[in-house]
Amino acid sequence: MPPAGDLGLRTAAPTPAAPPPNAASPTTKDPATNDITRGWCRLMGLTPLMLFTTTLLIIRNQRILHAWNTRQEENARRAAKDLPPKTRRRRKTLTALATAAGPL
């Protein structure tokens, strides 16, 4: 017999958290892909640790270089059509927001 006030209703189990935004391309900031805790370097030694770190940084640099080359190709394509290069949007500062809104 369920306790009084329970009415036999059960809540659903919590859903797991969503994967990181760049799950297909992990970076050095994503601990799920490059976690070396629990004494990994003590078990494996310094050489594999340095090899792992070096490989990780090389892959990250290649991703940054690829993004830069893509942006440069886009700018060259836009220049050929007499268009200005595409600029990135900057975050608005609190000062800019306060002066743009004016007094209420």
Report, as an integer, the average pLDDT of 11-20.
59
How many independent structural domains does the chain possess? 1
In sequence order, what DSSP letters do the residues of 39-83 get, joined into one string?
THHHHH-HHHHHHHHHHHHHHHHHHHHHHHHHHHHHHHHHHHTT-
Question: Is 67 a domain residue?
Answer: yes
Q: Phi and psi for 85 in degrees, rounded to 5?
A: -65, 145
Question: Is 36 a domain residue?
Answer: no
Question: Is 94 a domain residue?
Answer: no
Question: Is 37 a domain residue?
Answer: no
The average confidence (pLDDT) of the chain is 75
State residue 30's pLDDT score.
Answer: 67
Question: Is 80 a domain residue?
Answer: yes
Q: Is the pLDDT of residue 24 over 70?
A: no
Q: Which residues contact 48 (CB under 8 A, 6 or more apart)?
A: 41
Question: Is 60 a domain residue?
Answer: yes
State residue 77's pLDDT score.
Answer: 93
Domain that holds residue 62: 45-85
Question: Is 70 a domain residue?
Answer: yes
